[in-house]
């Protein structure tokens, strides 16, 4: 008898969890989704507010940096309140998958509108917007025909000209991880060392700081994410006039594969208590209106081909994105960090 009871107990608990007052759509149920996010953009709140207005599902947002969020989810384990993890880098989402912090989702809408290379093949994470890691250059001095590939920037003609943030930042780690995936570690190390040899100054600051440094004439080419240039072009701060006036954009090619892109994306947490709401939010984030807000509000490339890109981005030229599956950015992240160390790019 005791045995029967102990066997039944877990089912009883399951039954309690599925009792009618917890069913989605029931007026007694509090409709919420808890989002852990590393995205640092004002436009996101607007998108969440529109989602709440449309669905009645309230979005509780916890913001922290990527590593903090993953550590926190790990420490919370099965008690984690996180339903949806959002980050501004596929490498971190891939790492969350490897650490078993996410769960696979099959969703025909998400699979139909998000290109396959921008989502996890197992459905643990989905890309919502793209950003390209491009070259910003000084139009006063640079001929962009000399900047056709990432490798071009390692040529001696750029000695003392290159601006970039530190290798501690995941945007650079993901770029190098993509190079490792395509060309192998030896080529990736040659590239990183070549950039170090051409630096205008010690790597420091944000992507925006590199753009402002071009305006000041500190260097003539910067490696930056596309949306920072779009935002600079939209910015009306007179202190940024100089940078705005002189910057042009080149889309470098990576070994014949196109320009390195990364994503902002999201995945349903392994222990999500509001899974249906998390999926509803994911689906909303690829809707026309949310994609348009990502594009206009944050100068990101929509993952949906049928949503227009912002005017500022369109003016830069045409992006041909690398179609490497971005789970590779997690696969090669640790190796990229090691190669940066070896190259002297700190
Ligand atoms: Fe960023």
Ligand 1 center–CA 191 separation, angstroms: 23
Give the count of alpha carbons within 13 A of 326, CB side only: 39
| pLDDT(330) > 60 | yes
d(CA 125, CA 37): 13
Taking the centre of ligand 1 as the mean of its atom positions, its distance from the CA of residue 88, in whole angstroms, is 7
Domain residue ranges in the chain: 32-130+263-308, 132-260+318-343
Q: How confident is the model at residue 3 (pLDDT cuts 50, 70, 90)?
A: very low
Length of the chain measured in residues: 346
What global pTM score does this model have?
A: 0.89
Bridge partners, residue 301, by sequence: 130
Distance (Å) from CA 4 to ligand 1 centroid:
55
Q: Does the structure show a pLDDT above 90 at 30?
A: no
Distance 22 CA to ligand 1 centre (A): 38
What separation in Å is there between the alpha carbon of 133 and the centre of ligand 1? 11
Q: Can you read off the two tokens belonging to residue 173?
A: 């780690």
What confidence tens digit (pLDDT) does each residue in 129-153 have? Answer: 999 999 999 999 999 999 999 999 9
Looking at the predicted structure, is the pLDDT value of residue 20 above 60? Answer: no
Of 57-71, 128-142, 172-186, 284-298, the range with the lowest mean pLDDT is: 57-71
Report yes or no: 173 and 167 within 8 Å, Cβ to Cβ. Answer: yes
Residue 178 CA to ligand 1 center (angstroms) comes to 18
Domains 32-130+263-308 and 132-260+318-343 share a fold: yes
Cα end-to-end distance, the chain, whole Å: 65
Residue of 278, 263, 319 whose CA lies nearest to 114: 263
Taking domain 32-130+263-308, whether its CATH number is 3.90.25.10 is answered by no
Per-residue model confidence as pLDDT tens digits over 218-247:
999 999 999 999 999 999 999 999 999 999
Please say whether the beta carbons of 268 and 278 come within 8 A.
yes
Mean pLDDT over the full length of the chain: 91
Q: How far is the CA of 268 from the centre of ligand 1 (A)?
A: 22
Residue 257: other Cβ atoms inside 10 A: 16
In the chain, pLDDT over 70 holds for what percent of residues? 91
Which superfamily does 132-260+318-343 belong to? Periplasmic binding protein-like II (3.40.190.10)
For the residues 15-39, what does the mean pLDDT come to? 60
| 112 vs 13, higher pLDDT | 112
Q: What is the pLDDT of residues 172-185, one digit of tens each?
A: 999 999 999 999 99
For residues 115 and 123, give the distance between their C-alpha atoms in angstroms, rounded to a whole number.
12
Reported confidence tier of residue 63, pLDDT bands at 50, 70, 90: confident
Residue 258 Cα to ligand 1 middle (Å):
21
DSSP code string of 82-118: --EEEES-HHHHHHHHHTT-B-----HHHHHHS-GGG
Percent of the chain with pLDDT over 90: 87
Cα distances (angstroms) measured from residue 168 to each of 109, 165, 204, 205: 36, 8, 10, 11
Cβ contacts of residue 37 below 8 Å, gap of 6+?
44, 61, 62, 63, 69, 85, 86, 87
Taking the C-alpha atoms of 64, 68, 74 and 75 in order, what is their torsion angle to the nearest 10 degrees? -100
250, two tokens: 């080149």
Rounded to the nearest angstrom, the distance between the alpha carbon of 23 and the centre of ligand 1 is 38
Residue 5 Cα, ligand 1 centroid: separation in angstroms? 54
- What was the pLDDT predicted at 29? 58
Three-class DSSP category at 272: coil
CA distances from 222 to 40, 194, 252, 290 (A): 22, 14, 12, 30
pLDDT, residue 26, reads 47
pLDDT in tens, 82-124: 999 999 999 999 999 999 999 999 999 999 999 999 999 999 9
| Higher pLDDT pick, 27 / 198 | 198
């Amino acid at each position: 008898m005791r045995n029967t009871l102990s066997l039944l107990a877990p089912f009883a608990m399951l039954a309690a969890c599925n009792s009618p007052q917890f069913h989605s759509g029931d007026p007694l149920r509090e409709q919420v989704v808890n989002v852990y996010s590393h995205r640092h953009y004002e436009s996101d709140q607007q998108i969440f507010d529109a989602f709440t207005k449309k669905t009645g599902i309230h979005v509780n947002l916890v913001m922290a940096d990527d590593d903090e969020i993953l550590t926190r989810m790990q420490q919370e384990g099965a008690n984690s309140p996180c339903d949806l993890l959002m980050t501004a880098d596929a490498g971190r989402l891939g790492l969350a998958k490897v650490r078993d912090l996410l769960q696979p989702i099959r969703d025909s809408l998400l699979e139909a509108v998000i290109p396959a290379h921008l989502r996890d093949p197992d459905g643990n994470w989905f890309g919502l917007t793209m950003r390209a890691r491009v070259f910003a250059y000084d139009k006063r001095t640079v001929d962009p025909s000399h900047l056709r590939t990432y490798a071009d920037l390692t040529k001696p003609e750029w000695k003392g000209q290159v601006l970039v943030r530190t290798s501690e930042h995941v945007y650079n780690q993901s770029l190098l991880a993509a190079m490792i995936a395509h060309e192998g570690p030896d080529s990736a190390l040659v590239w990183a060392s070549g950039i170090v040899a051409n630096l205008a100054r010690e790597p420091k600051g944000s992507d925006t700081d590199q753009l402002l440094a071009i305006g000041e004439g500190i260097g003539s080419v910067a490696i930056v994410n596309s949306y920072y240039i779009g935002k600079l072009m939209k910015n009306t701060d007179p202190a940024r006039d100089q940078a705005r006036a002189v910057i042009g954009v080149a889309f470098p090619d990576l070994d014949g594969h196109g320009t390195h892109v990364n994503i902002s994306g999201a995945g349903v947490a392994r222990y999500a208590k509001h899974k249906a709401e998390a999926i509803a939010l994911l689906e909303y984030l690829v809707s026309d209106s949310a994609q348009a807000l990502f594009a206009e509000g944050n100068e990101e490339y929509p993952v949906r081909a049928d949503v227009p890109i912002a005017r500022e981005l369109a003016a830069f030229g045409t992006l041909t994105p690398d179609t490497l599956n971005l789970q590779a950015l997690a696969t090669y992240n640790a190796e990229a960090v090691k190669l940066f160390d070896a190259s002297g790019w700190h």
